[in-house]
Amino acid sequence: MTTIKKTKVLIIGGGPAGYTAAIYAARANLKPLQALGLQPGGQLMITTDVENFPGFGQPIQGPWLMEQMHQQAEHVGTEMVYDFITQVDFSQRPFVCQGDSETVYHADTVIIATGAQARWLGLESEEKYRGFGVSACATCDGFFFKDKRVAVIGGGNSAVEEAIFLTNHASHVTLIHRRDQLRAEKIAQDRLFRNPKISMIWDTAVDEVLGKDIPHKALTGLALHNLQTGAKSQLEVDGVFVAIGHTPMSEIFKGHIDLDTEGYILTKPNSTATSIPGVFAAGDVQDKVFRQAVTAAGQGCMAAIEAEKFRGL
């Protein structure tokens, strides 16, 4: 039997952007309803030590931070549902969103905070050492590899930028690419090739992430093979950063709001407003530049304030 729930603000997603939007909306007495989706907490649920979120003197755990945000949003009055939104209709207000639970949500405004997922290599060993040497965010985790050897996998702008950034911490960075030339912008490539702390491995794929479990789980290297010659080799590194792109979680919004060619939701300058008045987007589903928990939280705050000021509430 279909259940209908009505709300002034429906928040779709449960990461830093969604929780912060919920906190601000609840404190504005908008009585928000938050659909947490399939993975409440987002990418921070697979992040171990977090040192770059302001307010904590010591490293904290990503899942713990998300638990605290969840509790804070709930404490100030957010109604939370463990539901996954499968369909939306933004053609008229109130907006209509269909949940996997067969609940239908009628909302005066919607804040989309569904995030993005890093693209991974798809290796079982990669998943095993994720958070123990395998990362998809140099800005988040580069500090932990001070004076150590690391590898970056990829060939686009993100991979080149990550490799250059990591030279601020690592003793040496090896960029591994499947092809014989990079896809990154020429100016970024020039900076990369000029950096004495970076070396290249061309035409090569990663077969396996190597590591140890005793006395503690840690990555020790990569098993590689050359795609041209078939030659196999191993590279000793302490960490590997997978930089083959992110996928914004925006599939259900195609055809309903404007997206860019990569699927990121387009918002107006200095705003979280989308192409549909009353629909806002915050966090990694619309931000492909910074992709940080703190910037996602800031955008969640912006979205809630803009939803509060939206005419008609």
- List pLDDT tens digits, range 102-124: 999 999 999 999 999 889 999 99
Here the tokens at position 290 are 């910074």
Q: Beta strand 116-118 with 134-135: parallel, antiparallel or unpaired?
A: unpaired
Q: What percent of the chain has pLDDT over 90?
A: 84
**CA 211 from centroid of its chain's CA atoms:** 25
Average pLDDT over residues 279-294: 94
Residue whose tokens read 């997978």: 242
Which residue in 108, 140, 238, 301 is the catalytic one? 140
**pLDDT computed for residue 39 by the predictor:** 77
Q: Which range, of 32-46, 137-151, 204-218, averages the lowest pLDDT?
A: 32-46
The C-alpha atoms of residue 252 and residue 89 are separated, in whole angstroms, by 10
Average pLDDT over residues 189-212: 97
Mean residue pLDDT of the chain comes to 94
Residue range 128-168, pLDDT digits in tens: 999 999 999 888 899 999 999 999 999 998 899 899 999 99
Residue range 14-29, pLDDT digits in tens: 999 999 999 999 999 9
The C-alpha atoms of residue 222 and residue 239 are separated, in whole angstroms, by 9
Q: Which range, of 47-51, 83-87, 133-137, 271-275, averages the lowest pLDDT?
A: 47-51
Please check the confidence at residue 313 and state whether its pLDDT lies above 70. Answer: no
The domain segmentation of the chain, as residue ranges, is: 4-117+246-311, 121-243
Q: How many CB atoms lie within 10 A of CB 221?
A: 18
**pLDDT computed for residue 251 by the predictor:** 96
My answer on whether omega of the bond before 269 falls inside 30° of 0, hence cis, is no
Average pLDDT over residues 264-284: 97
Please check the confidence at residue 49 and state whether its pLDDT lies above 80. Answer: no
Residue range 158-196, pLDDT digits in tens: 899 899 999 999 999 999 999 999 998 899 999 999 999
Please check the confidence at residue 48 and state whether its pLDDT lies above 70. Answer: no
CATH of 4-117+246-311, one of 3.90.180.10, 1.20.140.10, 3.40.640.10, 3.50.50.60: 3.50.50.60
Q: Is 137 a catalytic residue?
A: yes
**pLDDT computed for residue 258 by the predictor:** 98
More confident residue, 234 or 290: 234
- Taken as a whole, the chain contains a residue count of 313
Which residue in 83, 108, 141, 284 is the catalytic one? 141
Here the tokens at position 112 are 């989309």
What letter represents residue 35's amino acid? A
DSSP per-residue codes, the chain: --EEEEEEEEEE--SHHHHHHHHHHHHTT---EEE--SSTTGGGGG--EE-SSTT-SS-EEHHHHHHHHHHHHHHTT-EEE---EEEEE-SSSSEEEEETTSEEEEEEEEEE---EEE-----HHHHHTBTTTEES-HHHHGGGGTTSEEEEE--SHHHHHHHHHHTTT-SEEEEE-SSSS--S-HHHHHHHHH-TTEEEE-SEEEEEEEEE-SSS-EEEEEEEEETTT--EEEEE-SEEEE-S-EEES-GGGBTTB-B-TTSPBP--TTS-B-SSTTEEE-GGGT-SS---HHHHHHHHHHHHHHHHHSTT-
Which residue in 83, 97, 108, 137 is the catalytic one? 137
What letter represents residue 300's amino acid? G
Residue whose tokens read 């093979």: 225
Asked if the domains at 4-117+246-311 and 121-243 fall in one CATH topology, the answer is: yes
**pLDDT computed for residue 2 by the predictor:** 84
**pLDDT computed for residue 45 by the predictor:** 79
Residue range 235-262, pLDDT digits in tens: 999 999 999 988 999 999 999 999 999 9
Architecture of the domain delimited by 121-243: 3-Layer(bba) Sandwich (3.50)
Residue whose tokens read 């409440």: 40
Q: Is 141 a catalytic residue?
A: yes
pTM: 0.80
CA distances from 44 to 84, 107, 115, 157, 252 (A): 19, 28, 11, 23, 23
